[in-house]
Structure formats: C-alpha cells, structure tokens
Amino acid sequence: MTVSRVLNGGPNVRPQVREKVMAAVETLQYRVNVQAQRLAARSSWTLAMVVEASHDAEPNSFYHSGLEIGALRACADAGFQLQMHPFSEQTEGAADAEILALATSGQADGLVLTPPFSDRLALLRQLHAAHFPVACISAGPEARQAAPSVRMDEAGAGFDITRHLLEQGHRRFAFMKGLHGHLAAEERYSGFLAALAAEGLDESSVVAARGDFTFRSGAALTPELIQAPLRPTALICANDDMAVGAMFAAHRMGLEIPAQLSVVGFDDTPVSAIIWPPLTTVHQPLKRMGARAVELLVSQVRKTQERGERHEEIIPHQLMRRDSTAAVQ
C-alpha cells in the first residue's frame, strides 16, 4: 500500500520512505502497468474538458486550444488522458443534461468546465449532488462559491487596459462585448467602466455593441460603432478575434490604426502579435489556467481535496503594449 501511495502521488508518506521507494523503482526499472492500474481502481484515468462550440460560428482561434495545451501537459504529468467535449451554448437545458450524462457515463473521472458552462449554477449543484469532481475556468462570482476555480482577474484586466487608453488622452470609446451571459467578458466591461468612473467619465462616453467572440462579428460590428455620433477614438474588444476583425474592417474603411483609431483586445492570442499593426491586448495565461484546473481536478479525484471544496485561484495577467494604440492627435 505504501508503494502504491508513492507511485500514485498519494498523501501520508514520509519523505524518507518516498525516497526509498523511488530508489527501488529506479534500480528495478519498474514501470506502472496502466491497464492493470485502471482495472484495479475502477477508474477511466480520463478527464474531460467541456467547451462551447456554436454550430453557426467559427471556433475561437486560440482560447480553447490554449487551455487544452495546458490541460494536456498537466494530465500527462498526473498520468491521465484528456478528452475535449464541445457543446452548443444555444441550447442551455439540453447542453446541461448532456454534460450531466457525460459525468455519470463512466467515460471520465472529472470535468473541467469552461465558460459559459462554468457559470451554470444548476449544473454545478447537480454535479456536486452526484459527488462528481469538477473544476471551473473563469467562473463568475456565484459559481466560484460552488466549485474549485481558476481565473484571471477579468475586472482588473479591463481596468488596466482602459487606464492605458485614458493615459493616452482617449475620452470617447467604443466597446465590443462578448456573448450575453458570458460573465468573464461582462467583468471585463465592468472593469472598463470602473476605470472611466475613476477618471470622472460614465457610459455617456461609450457606444457599445454585442459580438460573439469571432472575427466575423468584429468585422461586422465595427462600421456602426465607428460611425456612431459619438465618433470614438478608441475601440475595446472583449477578445482578440473580434479586435482583429475590427482592425480588418477599419482598414477596409480607410482608417489609419492607431492614428485615427486605437484598437485593443483581450487574451494575447498568437494572431495579436502578427496582425498589422501588432495588437495591444491583455495576456491571459491560458496554458497555466488549463494546467491548474487539471491539478485542482486531480486532487479531487485522488481525494487529497474534498470534492466541491471552495478553492479560488487568480493567476496574474499582463498588459501587452503594442502598436495598435497611440495618443489622441
């Protein structure tokens, strides 16, 4: 039993004993029989990551893949496999039922929920009632009380990037929001408003529209935002894909970026550094967030942490100042 606890990363093993076991493993060149281990533990040794995938829009270019890369690395370190399960957010009741069915099917030992599913309180309560391990990424305030979670300070990021624009003299803004009900994106907007308020401004300085996080929506919404009576000098987009779409539309309209319009995004996806001009954005540590969510989940599966025990972890963001912003002329 002691050897098993050491090899499975279990608790209650003295460091000296752990060292002796690992020395013996090295001497004997022992390798764990994964199939036998799974049979003995009656475990799939598989974790599932649930993501939103609309059938009517292109997938997010990097957000989900960034989380997946981090989660895969953490799964490999812990001896688990990772499955990605896309569900459509447009059918909320059906999606929740399908996610709950996945949890009770035996296909996975735990779930990582990403937005908007990480904000579904009813779903989280059902998973908790079923004693099924779950960890959330970028959950909203209420959901953070219901399950272990890892996130970036979304409101703080919104405040910081707005502060950057205010320091450049911008006072008229357009804001391209994300999907309705996506609480992480709403917190970015709240941080934006907080920065305005600190400068003595309010929503009368803003024209806003709601996109769906895609390049297509960014390109489609930009003309009406730019041509609004307010005539913004800076456009803030709730993610990089919409920001890149906005820059495409602005170029097509003959606007110079950043001389005539400053544009910023969120996430720091790879495209943000290669678009012209390179996009000022907030670096969201997606890989680290995916890895930490898996680590929180594994601790529940291995029962080193109680299932459903509240654990909220905030991973620092970073403002990436590039060439898509400039002082007001």
Task: State what percent of residues in the chain have pLDDT above 90.
Answer: 72
pLDDT tens digits for range 310-320: 689 999 999 99
pLDDT tens digits for range 191-218: 999 999 999 999 999 999 999 999 999 9
For the chain, what's the residue count? 329
- The two tokens of residue 232 are 């913004």
pTM over 0.85, yes/no: no
Q: How many CA atoms lie within 13 A of 328 on its CB side?
A: 15
Structural contact between residues 145 and 135, judged by C-beta atoms closer than 8 angstroms: no
* Domains of the chain, earliest start first: 1-31 (no CATH), 44-152+287-317 (3.40.50.2300), 154-284 (3.40.50.2300)
E strand map for 114-172: 134-137, 149-151
Structural contact between residues 67 and 136, judged by C-beta atoms closer than 8 angstroms: no
